[in-house]
Amino acid sequence: MERTRSSVSEFIRSAVACVGSATGCSSTGEGSILALSTQHSALWRLLAGESHDGLDGVFTDHIHAFSTLVSEVATGIDGTSVQSCCRDGSDRDLLVTIQCEVDVMDKRLIFSLTELWLVIYPLCWLLVTSCCKKYQECRQRYIVGVGGAAGSGKSSLCTVLGRLITTLTKHKLPQSSFSPLDISSVRCSVMGQDAYHLPNEELKERCLQQLKGSTSTFNVESFVADVTKLTSTEAGTLKMPAYSREVHEPLADQVEVWSAPCVVLVEGVHALCTDAPFTALQPLWDLKVYVDCAESVAKPRAILRKMRGCRERRTAEQHYERVDAVNRAAVEKPVNVANCDVRLSVRPTQDPDCSTSMSTEIINVPELSAKVTG
């Protein structure tokens, strides 16, 4: 359903107010929304803390920018009015559908409007402004490592971030009120570790088909080499591979990585692992985002994905225990979690319309603050 920007502005005022039900705050004024946003979102707290003048004077622009994003990228908004939901005392939220291409396949992604406001939007703004600052300093791309277990939603998160960043910079929103940095030239590209799977024929020759997804089935050397190329200051685009879930093979030259200033989102199960052979990746990340998804959510997703690839349920479940569960244990090592800057938690809910909820935690506050402020 089409919504005007002014309508979405009203929706977000009400939607964010929903999170204040626990605190007894029902006001939808901008001051209340700012207070609720910083109270319930670590990313909003970071942005408010690093803003020289605070966010009070520019919050209207943030709401306008967010409303423009939602109006342009959403293919559907499910719900009549968040305000009516608030008045009847329920915790329901508007659900926003975004059509994206994920792993060379069209996919409908659904987020709650409040999640987009509290998590996705401030993360977009953090990435864009940080990219501008790095470009001013050294003319390099801003490289973000996104890690998490199979089925955690890494690919979907990166695809949505890329879509929103492209829209944000196209409209030059929000610029004049927030920062002297020119965000209009910032672009975004998304790469994935799965693109560095060994070809199926080679896996067959090495008798590794049953272990596809484990460390031994990736060309890690090529993965590290390509991420290293991203640090170049040379102008011009780079062509990178992508993994197709239609043919279940890596495809060469599918992803176009723009020259700086560009936010490059690199997602993968082992992206944030500090153990060999992925150790060499860690110094290359400007920002490390860990998608901490509950196994009760991630496991069914991973199994369903295998079943969509023409596997029987039993075969898909066996593959999860043989490969994905082992990878999950490696990803969840405390040393790897402590290695990240931002942890995005995905947890199940009791809401039949929206099965998960997202929240954020800043793990390395001093380091991330330094990256934001330069």
3-state secondary structure 285-317: CCEEEEEEECHHHHHHHHHHHHHHCCCCHHHHH
User: What pLDDT, on a 0 to 100 scale, did the predictor assign at position 330?
Assistant: 92
CB 358 within 8 Å of CB 346:
yes
Mean pLDDT of 184-192: 92
| Confidence label for 303 from pLDDT (cuts 50, 70 and 90) | very high
> What is the tally of structural domains in the chain?
1
Q: Is 16 domain-assigned?
A: no
Q: What is the mean pLDDT of the chain?
A: 78
Q: What angle do CA 207, 209, 215 make, to 5 degrees?
A: 95
Q: Is 94 domain-assigned?
A: no
Q: Is 47 domain-assigned?
A: no
Q: Is 350 domain-assigned?
A: yes
| Cβ neighbours of residue 342 closer than 8 Å, sequence gap 6 or more | 42, 43, 123, 287, 288, 289, 290, 360, 361, 362, 363, 368
| Confidence label for 33 from pLDDT (cuts 50, 70 and 90) | low
Q: Which domain holds residue 368?
A: 115-373
Q: The domain spanning residue 151 has which CATH number?
A: 3.40.50.300
CB 289 within 8 Å of CB 161:
no
User: What pLDDT, on a 0 to 100 scale, did the predictor assign at position 163?
Assistant: 87
User: What pLDDT, on a 0 to 100 scale, did the predictor assign at position 141?
Assistant: 94
Nearest to 188 by CA among 249, 266, 303, 115: 266
How many distinct helices (H) and strands (E) make up the chain?
15, 11
The model's pTM is: 0.85
User: What pLDDT, on a 0 to 100 scale, did the predictor assign at position 73?
Assistant: 77
Taking the C-alpha atoms of residue 296 and residue 294, their distance in angstroms, rounded to an integer, is 5
User: What pLDDT, on a 0 to 100 scale, did the predictor assign at position 131?
Assistant: 92
| Confidence label for 261 from pLDDT (cuts 50, 70 and 90) | very high
Residue at token pair 């990166």: 158
Q: Is 1 domain-assigned?
A: no
| Confidence label for 47 from pLDDT (cuts 50, 70 and 90) | confident
**pLDDT > 70: what percent of the chain?**
71
CB 157 within 8 Å of CB 251:
no
Q: Is 266 domain-assigned?
A: yes
Q: What angle do CA 150, 164, 112 make, to 5 degrees?
A: 65
Q: Is 197 domain-assigned?
A: yes
User: What pLDDT, on a 0 to 100 scale, did the predictor assign at position 107?
Assistant: 66
| Confidence label for 31 from pLDDT (cuts 50, 70 and 90) | low
Q: Is 97 domain-assigned?
A: no
Q: Enumerate the β-bridge partners of residue 293.
A: 346
